[in-house]
Amino acid sequence: MGRPLRPTEAPTLETPLEELPKISSVRLAGLRRLGLVTVRDLLWHLPRRHDDQRQRATISELRLGEAATVEVEVVSLHPRRSRQRRLELVEAEVMDATGTAGVIWFNQPHLAHILHPGQRITLHGKAARRPHGGIQIRNPDMELERRSGGQSSVGVLVPTYPETAGVTSRWLRPRVRDLLPLAAAVAETLPEPVLAQEGLVPLKEALSQIHFPADHLELERARARFGFEELFYPQRAALLARQQRLARKGTRSPYDVAVARSFAQSLPFRLTDDQRRAAHEILIDLDRPSPMNRLLQGDVGSGKTVVAAMAARMAIAAGHQVVLMAPTEILARQHHETLRELLAPFQIWPRLLVGSTGARQRREILGGLAAGTDKLVVGTHALIEDEVRFPQLGLCIVDEQHRFGVAQRLRLRDKVAANPDFLSMTATPIPRSLNLTLYGDLDVSQIRGMPPGRIPVQTRMVEPGQRQGAYDFIRSEVRQGRQGFIICPLIEDSPGAEARSATAEYERLSGEVLPDLRLVLVHGRLPAREKAERMRAFAAHEFDLLVATSVIEVGVDVPNATFIGIEDAGRFGLAQLHQFRGRVGRGTHESHCLLFAGDEDPTGLARLRALIEHQDGFELAEVDLRLRGAGDAYGLRQHGFPEMRVGDLLDDGLRERARAVAERLLAADPELRDPVLRHGIQGYQVVFEFD
Ligand code: ADP
Ligand code: MG
């Protein structure tokens, strides 16, 4: 705990915010929630947007729900305390030449002392309907009429910041303004020649201007500077990581065309063109002396596992060990089963190591791996426990890597002395308009098309009045020998509640709605062994209907399942909905996805419409990107995309420019001798890098 600054002491960029005068503990807690600890952090808390308050409206021009600036005269004032919530309210009547309006401020009792009837003030805020008719401006920014010039914060481009309880934009503005002179002490983070060539504003100026721009042009130039930087750092980090990886010596599995051909010929189907291309790209990488770092991307059911099996086959043919790690036991078991079938013709027998593997078998597996006699092991994070050793590891495959924690990824890295080739698989598509290869040190192979013969899943909404019809439909599918799923609502901030809701739905369905069907319940709270057993029984058609929480999101492969009902569907994200739907349509019968509508908000509804309209995960990723913006769409953060505050991942031009600059600088100074170039290097983690 620092001591408060004395009045004569000036803060510096490094001064902790708690040492500034007059900041309450509530505000400090809020600031901490926003990640703001020092004065520097506060200056780097960039506005999300600016409101142009220079345009004046009259009271008669106010529109409900829209923000506007009005110059008015105070008619009367009524401070009071609300009875229910014990809020301090200040209500006022104001007028101009065109009419009168009400104003209400919450928790700003001091305004009652500042304001008085007859006074002229400027207000900026949103107009709402007054409870008893007319218009009310709610919680507006307020400024007294100024006698002389001075800096005004109402009636210019006013910043709005990311906020939290206790820390509003209104509170932040004057604090930031008072501290902004310190921006003069900020060191430049881009080399001078880059600023000149790219026409970018120096950091000091940009920092002041992005908070309080004189006009739109200044704001745009300041944003361009920060936007460039945000796109520049991660690309530079990625290029650096790539440079370092390519310089390392890894394991090599020569590209043996005869081995590849015999694998393809052993399959009961023909590989699709996309599968061939992806496999080819991977096999070329395996043949390189430096370690591979590649992502295999393809929609659910597009046939990634076959491609991974081919890579495993090649690495084993070269005498290496191969490990495949999956995020759940269900998935690990399925991969194990698939690989066993695909690799049996070559006398390769994969081992399965999961949490529920018995002690004796576990010892045997560990022994086989340590001795190098076992070549292929599939498992969960049980694979990264201390005693597990893979002395000849040549290829490491991780399924849905983003579902593992960073710590688990690092443990896997620590287990292996050499630099094995690394293949990560994911069903989360990256939107077309983002060029993933520009981010992270990661090569990407994509499987875009589906294996032939897939019948598109029929997706439709079930309105509240259509429920009974939907249950009748489910019953008729079951009568025809089919199976299906009901996914239960997502309940925020309580995984336990989610399990409860699935349990309640299971009881309701098996009790009253579908008592003649064989139902089984699966949720994340069950012991892994029990969960696996119930899944197995369902897959073996000992049950008709599986009621589940989102645990079945990935990896459930039951070709006989032809329907999936999703409760409260509008509350799931598009990626997850698409994953759910991918659980059906895997067999030869037409499948159905039933979206039980709840009280979704407009974007929830838009997501459901998109799901009905599009089958392709890449298309859906595009839609999601448009609905949400690049910030957190479609698991982009999971994929290691940096968070953009100002920069725009979708701005191809700016991205390319930043890339070109990063390439040029690294080429000229590969060891980063220039300290300016080192700036921000630690700030970015290239998530997929396996080193
Ligand atoms: P993913 O891992 O991408 O979800 P899988 O590899 O599990 O997909 O494949 C899904 C199903 O499609 C499996 O039953 C697999 O045998 C089958 N499959 C894969 N490739 C082909 C193909 N080229 N032709 C026909 N079926 C295929
Ligand atoms: Mg698979």
| Three-state SS sequence of 543-575 | CCEEEECHHHHCCCCCCCEEEEEECCHHHCCHH
Domain definitions of the chain by residue range: 1-48+164-175, 55-155, 187-246, 257-447, 458-614
Q: What is the pLDDT of residues 456-487, one digit of tens each?
A: 899 999 998 899 999 999 999 999 999 999 99
Q: How confident is the model at residue 281 (pLDDT cuts 50, 70, 90)?
A: very high
Encoded tokens for 112: 């009652």
State in Å: Cα 630 to ligand 2 middle: 28
Query: Which range (92-96, 429-433, 517-521, 554-558) has the least confidence?
Result: 429-433
Cβ atoms 57, 72 nearer than 8 A: no
Q: What is the amino acid identity at position 667?
A: A
Answer yes or no: is pLDDT of 169 > 60: yes
Find, among 244, 236, 284, the residue nearest to 260 by Cα. Answer: 284
Q: What percent of the chain has pLDDT over 90?
A: 42
Distance 501 CA to ligand 2 centre (A): 29
Please give the distance, rounded to the nearest whole angstrom, from the Cα atom of residue 104 to the centre of ligand 2. 58
* CB-based contact 401:426 (threshold 8 Å): yes
In the block, which residue shows the tokens 């949490």? 355
Residue 509 is classified by DSSP as I
Q: Which residues contact 219 (CB under 8 A, 6 or more apart)?
A: 50, 157, 209, 210, 213
Is the distance from CB of 299 to CB of 620 less than 8 angstroms? no
Q: Whose CA is nearest to atom 22 of ligand 1?
A: 451
The torsion angle over the Cα atoms of residues 243, 249, 251 and 257, rounded to 10 degrees, is 70
Q: Which helix (H) or strand (E) holds 602?
A: helix 602-613
| Predicted confidence (pLDDT) at residue 312 exceeds the cutoff of 60 | yes
Q: Which of 273, 348, 341 is nearest to 312 (CA)?
A: 348
* Upper half-sphere CA count for residue 300 (Cβ side, 13 Å): 24
pLDDT for the residue 405: 63
Tell me, what's the pLDDT at 149?
Answer: 43
278 Cα–ligand 1 center, Å = 14
Rounded distance from Cα 279 to ligand 1 centre (Å): 14
Q: Which residue has the higher pLDDT, 530 or 622?
A: 530
Q: Report, in angstroms and rounded to the nearest whole number, the Rg of the chain calculated over CA atoms.
A: 30
Closest CA to 286 of 340, 339, 322: 322
For 341, counting Cβ atoms within 10 Å of its Cβ (0-12 exposed, 13-18 middle, 19+ buried), the class is exposed
Residue 325, pLDDT above cutoff 90:
yes
548, with CB counted inside 10 A (0-12, 13-18, 19+), is buried
Nearest CA to ligand 1 atom 18: 303
Instruction: For residue 453, give the ligand 1 atom closest to its CA.
Output: 25
In the predicted model, is pLDDT for residue 296 greater than 70? Answer: yes
Region label for 291, one of left (φ > 0), alpha (ψ between -120 and 50) or beta (otherwise): beta
What is the C-alpha to C-alpha distance for residues 265 and 357, in angstroms, rounded to an integer?
Answer: 34
Q: Does residue 306 line the site of ligand 1, with CB under 6 A? A: yes
- Evaluate: CB of 451 within 6 angstroms of ligand 1: yes
400 vs 611, more confident: 611
The CATH code belonging to domain 257-447 is: 3.40.50.300
User: What fold characterizes domain 458-614?
Assistant: Rossmann fold (3.40.50)
What confidence tier does 40 reach under pLDDT thresholds 50, 70, 90? very high
Residue 333 CA: which ligand is closest? 2
Contacts of 534 (CB under 8 A, 6+ apart): 520, 521, 522, 526, 546
Distance CA 617, CA 298 (A): 9
Where is pLDDT greater, at 215 or 679? 215
Whether 300 lines ligand 1, by a CB cut-off of 6 Å, is: yes
Question: Probe ligand 1: pick from 275, 306, 556, 557, max atoms within 8 Å of CB?
Answer: 306
Counting ligands in written order, which one lies closest to the CA of residue 303?
A: 1
More confident residue, 553 or 64: 64
Cα-based distances in Å from 73 to 127, 338, 527: 17, 77, 68
What is the residue type of 396?
C
pLDDT at 683: 39
- Residue 302 Cα: closest atom of ligand 1: 3
Looking at the domain that runs over 55-155, which CATH code has it been given?
2.40.50.140
Closest CA to 431 of 444, 418, 419: 444
Which H or E run includes 464? none
- The best mutation among 274, 276, 305, 324 to test binding of ligand 1, ranked by most ligand atoms within 8 Å of the C-beta, falls on 305
Answer whether residue 79 shows pLDDT above 80.
yes
Per-residue pLDDT, averaged over 49-53, amounts to 79
Does the C-beta of 446 come closer than 6 Å to ligand 1? Answer: no
301 Cβ inside 6 Å of ligand 1: yes
Cα distance between residue 227 and residue 334, in whole Å? 44
Q: What strands lie across the sheet with 483-487, from one edge to the other?
A: 458-462, 592-596, 561-566, 483-487, 545-548, 519-522
Q: Whose CA is nearest to atom 11 of ligand 1?
A: 301
Q: pLDDT tens-digit profile of 300-309?
A: 788 999 999 9
pLDDT at 389: 84
Query: What's the pLDDT at 417?
Result: 62
Q: Residue 690: its pLDDT value, please?
A: 30
How far, in Å, is the centroid of ligand 1 from the Cα of 627? Answer: 31
Backbone angles phi, psi at 552, to 5 degrees: -90, 5
Q: Which atom of ligand 1 is nearest to the CA of 305?
A: 6
Average pLDDT, the chain: 84
Q: HSE of 483 in the Cβ direction (CA atoms, 13 Å)? A: 24
In the β-sheet with 421-426, what is the strand arrangement from edge to edge?
Answer: 351-353, 376-379, 321-325, 393-399, 421-426, 293-298, 443-447
**Per-residue model confidence (pLDDT) at position 634:** 45
Closest CA to 658 of 283, 243, 194: 194
Ligand 1 centre distance from Cα of residue 41 (Å): 49
Is the CA virtual torsion 397, 401, 404, 409 positive or negative?
Answer: positive
- Other C-beta atoms within 10 Å of 336: how many? 21
Question: Please, what is the Cα angle at 153 between 152 and 159, to 5 degrees?
Answer: 150
Q: Is the CB of 271 under 6 A from ligand 1?
A: yes
Atom of ligand 1 nearest to the CA of 304: 3
Query: Which residues, 6+ apart, have CB-to-CB distance to 385 below 8 Å?
Result: none
682 three-state secondary structure: helix
> Could you tell me the pLDDT band of residue 588, with boundaries at 50, 70 and 90?
confident
Closest-CA residue to 68 (of 90, 50, 52): 52
Q: What average pLDDT does the segment 399-423 reach?
A: 71
Query: What is the total residue count of the chain?
Result: 691
Q: Which atom of ligand 1 is nearest to the CA of 270?
A: 23
Q: Give the pLDDT confidence of 246-262 residue by residue, as tens digits.
A: 888 889 999 999 999 99
123 within 8 A of 108, measured Cβ to Cβ: no
Among the bound ligands, the one closest to the CA of 300? 1
Ligand 1, atom 24, lies closest to the CA of 451
Question: Does the pTM exceed 0.85?
Answer: no
Say yes or no: do domains 55-155 and 257-447 share a fold. Answer: no
Res. 167: pLDDT tops 60: yes
Q: Is 546 exposed, middle or buried (0-12, 13-18, 19+ CB in 10 A)?
A: buried
Lowest-pLDDT choice from 430-439, 597-606, 682-691 = 682-691
Contact, 472 vs 319, CB < 8 A? Answer: no
Q: Which ligand is nearest to the CA of 335?
A: 2
Say what the pLDDT of residue 198 is.
92
Asked if the model's pLDDT at residue 96 lies above 70, the reply is yes
Using the predicted structure, report yes or no on whether residue 439 has a pLDDT greater than 70.
no
- Using the atom order of ligand 1, give the atom closest to the CA of residue 586: 11
* Strand ranges in 315-357 using DSSP code E only, listed in sequence order: 321-325, 351-353
Check pLDDT > 80 for residue 406: no
Distance 641 CA to ligand 1 centre (A): 28
Task: Indicate if ligand 1 lies below 6 Å from the C-beta of 581.
Answer: no
